[in-house]
């Protein structure tokens, strides 16, 4: 008789964004005349940039011709894309990353959910609280998190690093020693960031205690302030303790097109074993690569045209962030984020819980956001809005919220 992975049964409820999707669907069915504005999940609304579309068309034509047709992609991804990444994302910031340290994938969500496979189940993870739920849920599935304590909304075997107003929504070094530390900067969900000097402290700490940092830099393109690191490898010593995960979703609108990559430096070792080799083995065994046409499209964002066009898209979303931040502040809300990230983090009014505010906003303003408590216990009493809507919808959403 087969047995299931019972760790799945420990997961409370459904995945956060599935729950929100279901609630919104129910509301829409009951209120078909209402125009809902979705500022919940961080999904982009602008079409792919012209440079990307043109690269897609060209790549499709190549697939139609027997001389240029491509079958399985190379295991780590096409060299033209890895070279563009090494040059534009790293070398331009003074960081040397070798091509065999870059693994092209179908996105940062898969990579951040799968990376745990190369670590023993007995490692103890530390996460920010609130946190992108994938890091915790994927560790629950792996059996690494202990038992769930519903009253606290916490797992017994996870180190939580509260990111609250008191800490400027940034984590502090944990008192208990973790083996694996998940960091995401600019942060989802709070929209906060830390400086290079602050990130250096994490790198030094990880090297000292022998921990690995899984650094999610999916929102790197939204950094607007000086002194905020674009990659963890800007910090000295990061190559011996950090894995970096990147996405094409937020910087180039690939949420529906799917492309990302993970960097594992060869210096990152457990004894004599390179984590790079383990991930290469995993990648080769379980993944057959992102499609050629998507990788070709990805490479186009590093051309002069592609860079300019994607920069314009980011500026568009960051203008939305400004509209949300300034509009809500003027309406008396306490808001943060939205300066180096496309997320605005606000305190719910009148001591409402996060889900109460979610229901209230959906019902009274027909605006969808994300309840802070869905990201962890320290998110209770907070709410996240995304800047990825259209400008018109963002303006209207804020007007509706102001009228409440």
DSSP 36-81: -EE-SS----SPPPHHHHHHHHHHHHHHTSTTT---SPPTT--HHH
Site stretch for ligand MLT (CB under 6 A), options 35-43, 113-121, 273-281, 357-365 = 35-43
- Kindly tell me which of 132 and 382 has the beta carbon lying closer to ligand MLT: 132
Report, in Å, the least distance between residue 74 CB and ligand MLT: 26
> Could you give the CA distance from residue 183 to residue 127 in angstroms, rounded to a whole number?
7
Output the six-digit token pair for 315. Answer: 């500026």
Does 42 bind ligand MLT (CB under 6 A)? Our answer is yes
Does 41 bind ligand MLT (CB under 6 A)? Our answer is yes
Report, in Å, the least distance between residue 123 CB and ligand MLT: 23
Eight-state DSSP code of residue 280: H
Of 248, 165, 244, the closest CA to residue 199 belongs to 244
Does 253 bind ligand MLT (CB under 6 A)? Our answer is no
Nearest residue to ligand MLT by CB is: 42
Does 109 bind ligand MLT (CB under 6 A)? Our answer is yes
Q: Is the dihedral of CA 187, 193, 196, 197 positive or negative?
A: negative
- Kindly tell me which of 90 and 388 has the beta carbon lying closer to ligand MLT: 388
> Could you give the CA distance from residue 76 to residue 81 in angstroms, rounded to a whole number?
10
Q: Could you tell me how many residues of this chain bind ligand MLT (CB under 6 A)?
A: 6
Phi, psi (deg, nearest 5) at residue 273: -90, 125
Report, in Å, the least distance between residue 50 CB and ligand MLT: 24
- Kindly tell me which of 200 and 386 has the beta carbon lying closer to ligand MLT: 386
Which of 105, 145, 188, 373 touches ligand MLT by CB under 6 A? 188
- Kindly tell me which of 20 and 339 has the beta carbon lying closer to ligand MLT: 20
Report, in Å, the least distance between residue 151 CB and ligand MLT: 25
> Could you give the CA distance from residue 344 to residue 41 in angstroms, rounded to a whole number?
12
The residues with which 105 forms a beta bridge, in sequence order, are: 260
Return residues touching ligand MLT (CB under 6 A).
41-43, 109, 132, 188
């Amino acid at each position: 008789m087969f047995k299931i992975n019972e760790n799945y049964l420990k997961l409370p409820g459904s995945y956060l964004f599935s729950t929100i999707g279901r609630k919104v669907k129910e509301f829409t069915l009951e209120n078909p005349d209402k125009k809902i504005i979705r500022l919940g999940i961080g999904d982009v609304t602008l079409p792919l940039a012209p440079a990307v579309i043109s690269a897609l068309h060209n790549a499709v034509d190549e697939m139609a011709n027997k001389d240029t047709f491509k079958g399985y992609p190379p295991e780590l991804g096409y060299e033209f894309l890895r070279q563009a990444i090494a040059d534009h994302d790293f070398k331009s910031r003074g960081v040397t990353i070798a091509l065999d340290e870059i693994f092209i994938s179908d996105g940062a969500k898969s990579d951040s959910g799968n990376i745990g496979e190369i670590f023993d189940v007995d490692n103890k993870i530390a996460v920010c609280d609130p946190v992108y739920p994938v890091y915790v849920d994927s560790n629950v599935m792996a059996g690494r998190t202990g038992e769930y304590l519903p009253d606290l909304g916490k797992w017994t075997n996870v180190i939580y690093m509260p990111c609250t107003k008191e800490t400027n929504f940034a984590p502090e070094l944990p008192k208990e020693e973790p083996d694996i530390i998940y960091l995401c900067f600019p942060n989802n969900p709070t929209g906060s960031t830390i400086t290079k000097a602050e990130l250096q402290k994490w790198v030094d700490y990880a090297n000292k205690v022998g921990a690995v940092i899984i650094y999610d830099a999916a929102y790197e393109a939204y950094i607007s302030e000086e002194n905020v690191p674009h990659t963890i490898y800007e910090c000295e010593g990061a190559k011996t303790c950090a894995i970096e995960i990147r996405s094409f979703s937020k910087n180039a609108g690939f949420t529906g097109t799917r492309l990302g990559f993970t960097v594992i430096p060869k210096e990152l070792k457990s004894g004599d074993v390179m984590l790079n080799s383990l991930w290469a083995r995993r990648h080769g065994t379980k993944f057959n690569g992102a499609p050629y046409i998507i990788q070709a499209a990805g490479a186009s964002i590093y051309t002069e045209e592609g860079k300019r066009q994607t920069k314009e898209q980011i500026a568009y979303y960051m203008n939305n962030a400004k509209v949300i931040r300034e509009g809500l502040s003027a309406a008396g809300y306490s808001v943060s984020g939205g300066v180096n990230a496309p997320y605005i983090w606000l305190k719910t009014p009148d001591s409402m819980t996060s889900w109460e505010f979610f229901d209230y906003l959906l019902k009274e303003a027909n605006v969808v956001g994300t309840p802070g408590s869905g990201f962890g216990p320290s998110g209770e009493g907070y709410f996240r809005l995304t800047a990825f809507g259209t400008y018109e919808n963002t303006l209207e959403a804020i007007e509706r919220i102001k009228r409440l």
